[in-house]
Structure 1
Amino acid sequence: MTVLTNRALNRAALARQLLLDRADLPVLDAVTHLGGLQAQEPQEPFIGLWSRLHAFAPAMLDDLLTGRQVLRTHLMRGTVHLMTTADPLAWRSRHNAMLRQRMLGVYRADLAEVDLDELAAAGRAVLADGEPRARPDLARALLDRWPSAGHRALGEMLVTALLPMVQIPPRGLWRAKGGARNVLLADWVGREIDPLDEDPTDPVGQDLLRRYLAAFGPAAPADLRAWSGLAGLPAAVAALRPELISFRDERGRELLDLPEAPRPDADTPAPVRFLPAFDNAILGYQDRTRIIDDEHRNLSVAGERVVLVDGRVAATWKSVEGTVLVTPLGKLAKADRTAVATEAEQVALFLSDKESSRVKFG
């Protein structure tokens, strides 16, 4: 079985994540290919798409959000993702049990006296008028019935786990302010969520696996689990295995992949890229060493924006009043520093809409 080095895996990941070359794709196609972008910080997907697409303009994503072609919803790992409308409709039922368990892991004691099915039904009754509601407002409407639970536990469980919801615009629009207001997913898109398919071959799981490998492969089932939050999808892996090819990484793990997916040469040049906070190019793997050193593994979990140099995380960055501040994690070669500064200037222009930009190194 062929062994793929970390550098070869890095180049494959960059190619799948549209970070090796900016893609000439419509925004909707890019969001589809990526299986969504993690988006609990509402402005971060704009940076993620700008770094991946030629000629990306924020209005392109705004139009898709207001046109209900993409939406913001809790799904993979229980986090907010920007996704095409079709994907959460198809995938949500497969994620329901995981979402419940994750929320119970936090609020089990608070919800000890709450029947979750009754809570879900009560939440739907409150939302039946179609009015968008912030999470605290929804929880307060039910607090008299379950006073011992507390509004935070009620609200989190309803919005994140029990009821498939959408955070509606202006939340998530370019430079929009304001908190999240939620409506039921089915009401927002005018279509019911696909029921959980009990077929043992697990067609929904197979779709998730194919889509994951297209955007993240080659990868192990543990990586799929880290991205989705689901328990490895063993039935889907078994059913698809005859269609897949296998490699090993330097740790000896078996990696699965789609036969025709891109796997560039390990020496393919990789340009500097500025990634947003919580980017799935990092968080979408259990073993993240293909793109970030273990000592820096938690940077993205902590919400740091990072800079890729030669395909790997080499700095953090932030934007303050039109100035991009770059903090290298180690010494940068002169040529790399120049390349980082050049890309930082473009990031600053994108974020500020000013005719000039400033870059500082920390």
Structure 2
Amino acid sequence: MEMVRRMKLGSQGLEVSAQGLGCMSMTTGYYGPGKPETDMIDLIHRAIESGITFLDTSDSYGPHTNEVLLGKALKGGMRERVQLATKFGVNIGNGSTEIRGDPAYVRASCEASLRRLDVDCIDLYYQHRIDTRVPIEVTMGELKKLVEEGKIKYIGLSEASALTIRRAHAVHPITAVQLEWSLWTRDVEEEIIPTCQELGIGIVAYSPLGRGFLSSGSKMVETLSTDDVRKDIPRFKPENMEHNKKIFEQVSEMAARKGCTPSQLALAWVHHQGKNVCPIPGTTKIENLKKNIGALAVDLTEEEMAELESIASADAVKGDRNAYMSLTWSNTDTPPLSSWKPE
């Protein structure tokens, strides 16, 4: 297996592998039951040996168990070889979810993540979702302090609007914005991608394979466990899937002509979006890890990019990309700083 090339993410000095590894599905949580811990640690080690060194987790995955898994996987000299990204802001407890960005919560979350990961410093620390009750400048102020204290190296935002990104970046440089971007999720291209490019902010594409749809099409939905959150996503509902599966069929035809898999073609499309874009496909299988790495070798001409984009134009997909659209970037503007009254 070829070693994965390196790239600069953002303009603050962070260097990562050109493809990352999303670790969410390795433990129980959003995508159904987790997998055996020893198998997942082996998978993480295989990824690192192959040059995939940009690992993505969050305190909300599990919750907490995903960070603990990574902490175990990075024992024995592995920590120095990786760029570790985790997130705060989605507070899961007592059967409810609360989005928080107040300074005390930011600090407590960071310190708890450092303990679970068993590290001294987090390379990239994202606000996972934006707390619309707290001015983004207030949240960023606390994150800036954590950078100054050496607890985190770089700051990121996830699912933030263009205005929120600009306001945050004015307090302390944002290194990366994580957002859902794939052939069949392209709403970010209008305003958010250009904002990141203008400000020199790296783009980390989560769910670059359409949460599995661009790997196996409508078959994927039939195999989901009962507690898999993808069952609730509108575009996976039968009334929308009948229409949406045509996109996968056309991508599959093109992949056959190219001599690659549909998932490799879809991932290659993200890789061709620019030097500052890093997709982080998740997997729990070594064979899929190898396939995903193979996408880096798929070259696409301008004509092929145009063909793919015509198959999956922004309005070609039926149904929302998330069952909770209120928590996505389109609703993340925060109050002005002048309105903030610290407790």
State which structure, 1 or 2, has the greater radius of gyration over its C-alpha atoms: 1
Same fold (TM over 0.5): no
User: Normalized against structure 2, the TM-score is what?
Assistant: 0.29
